[in-house]
Amino acid sequence: MGVKSLLKTLNFFQFFIWGTWLVTLATYFFSLGWQPEQFGYIYSTIGLSAIGFPSLFGFLCDRYLNTTTVFRVLHLTAGIIMLLVPLLDNPLSFFWILLIYMILYMATLPMLISYSYQLLNENSISVKVNYPKIRVWGTFGFICALWIISLTGNEASVNQFYYSAIASFLLFGISFLMPSIKVHKPATGKNWVQVLGFDVLRLINNKKLIPFYLLAFFFGVALIVANGYTDAFIHQISSSINNNSILVEYPAILVSVSQISELLFLIVMPYFLLRYSNQRLFVFGFIAWISKFLFLYLASIYFELSFVILSSISYGLAFDFFIVPGSLYLDENTPTETRAGAQGLLVMLVNGFGSLSGSFFSGILITSYFSLNNIINWSQVWFFFSGLISIVLLVYFLFKIFLHKKAT
């Protein structure tokens, strides 16, 4: 199997695993009668698992261990643990098992990114031109998982977790085809702060990167809210939507329009990367986040399917115009020996601190301020987050102006 074909296959199953349950977890959770605040705690496992652990595994793969072996073992173990999830019957045990699973799975995300970059470079294949075309297969895998879960009627079923486990075992088998890449031996000893990846936080002192890290954090907040609640929102308003489309009957398929949009934007991403700066793409992405939440707000008021579809299209633009340029931006602005760790830092900010804050506080906010008698006021939820991202974008511009004036 060629290098690009192998990386496409790895990306497909990497995100198929996550797509089986990430979007539909809230629907399953609420079907058990559990509360939004409890869901916020459980969804926070995504954020907790992204703090320290991806950088730890990235450091080990950068310096000492065989990346392919670590990647393989993590997916095998994660698949076994996922088989335990259907057996859980209370939020507390659900939290701990999912946390252990996410620590293992989350570590493989930056690992695969770093591995892809290095393997492409070692084979003299342009990363900037070819990686977006490879990464698009991850989105395709996510879409396939959503469609399978929805069409088989498993959006509120434990079967979604079995699908995830099976995909993990398949990826474990495919990983034996991965060729080894060079290991960079450390020049000096490392302390635990460095091993856990917190030493890469020193990059925050780089004034050029401060606005990027601000956006990365709130990108994580927006992402976890969008992924965590959209499917549950569509389930609750589906009977009121002014359209009898098959999309309404299968909410996860409707949500998958987000990933289809993501896939299409990934296909044309090389065009934008070659013509626009990373900073400009960041701004495009955050404007799309504002649009997404505003469209969901309008859908919660007017119950029009078109608004839900427009929100999903906005998601694709918002996701791609930050993740791909952001990952490349870090890779281009960090030393070779810390690039895997830097990718771990991006995951830590987006899926770690940002995701943790978004899931934790969104659960509290929805339960305390946007719910009455266990009924969520979705219009307030979506309007609040559209306003939050608008403020973040304004602060970003003010920050850029301040740094520019200080430099001159």
Q: Check whether 169 has a pLDDT greater than 80.
A: yes
Q: Does the 3-181+197-407 domain belong in CATH 1.10.10.10?
A: no
pLDDT at 307: 93
Whether 363 and 34 have beta carbons less than 8 Å apart is answered as no
pLDDT in tens, 226-244: 988 988 888 888 777 766 5
pLDDT at 175: 92
Residue the block writes with tokens 């649009």: 291
Check the CA dihedral 27-29-34-36 and report its sign: negative
pLDDT at 36: 78
> Looking at residues 93-120, what average pLDDT do you find?
90
Q: Check whether 157 has a pLDDT greater than 70.
A: yes
> Looking at residues 204-209, what average pLDDT do you find?
66
- The pLDDT-based confidence of 9 (bands split at 50, 70, 90) is very high
Instruction: Write the CB contacts of 2 (distance below 8 Å, at least 6 apart in sequence).
Output: none
> Looking at residues 165-194, what average pLDDT do you find?
78
pLDDT at 352: 83
CA nearest neighbour of 179 among 408, 386, 5, 391: 5
pLDDT at 74: 94
Whether 255 and 311 have beta carbons less than 8 Å apart is answered as no
Q: Check whether 346 has a pLDDT greater than 80.
A: no
pLDDT at 5: 93
Q: How far apart are CA 123 and CA 134, in angstroms?
A: 15
Whether 299 and 308 have beta carbons less than 8 Å apart is answered as yes
Q: Check whether 185 has a pLDDT greater than 80.
A: no
Q: How far apart are CA 269 and CA 276, in angstroms?
A: 10
Q: What's the first-to-final CA gap in the chain, in angstroms?
A: 53
CA nearest neighbour of 85 among 76, 77, 96, 94: 94
> Looking at residues 345-349, what average pLDDT do you find?
76
Whether 84 and 363 have beta carbons less than 8 Å apart is answered as no
Higher-confidence residue of 60 and 149: namely: 149
pLDDT at 195: 58
pLDDT in tens, 252-295: 788 888 888 988 887 888 888 888 887 788 789 899 999 999 99
Q: Check whether 16 has a pLDDT greater than 60.
A: yes
pLDDT at 385: 95
> Looking at residues 55-70, what average pLDDT do you find?
76
Q: How far apart are CA 64 and CA 27, in angstroms?
A: 42
Mean per-residue pLDDT over the chain, rounded: 84
Q: Bridge partners of 371?
A: 376
Least confident window among 121-125, 209-213, 377-381: 209-213
> Looking at residues 380-404, what average pLDDT do you find?
89
Whether 90 and 37 have beta carbons less than 8 Å apart is answered as no
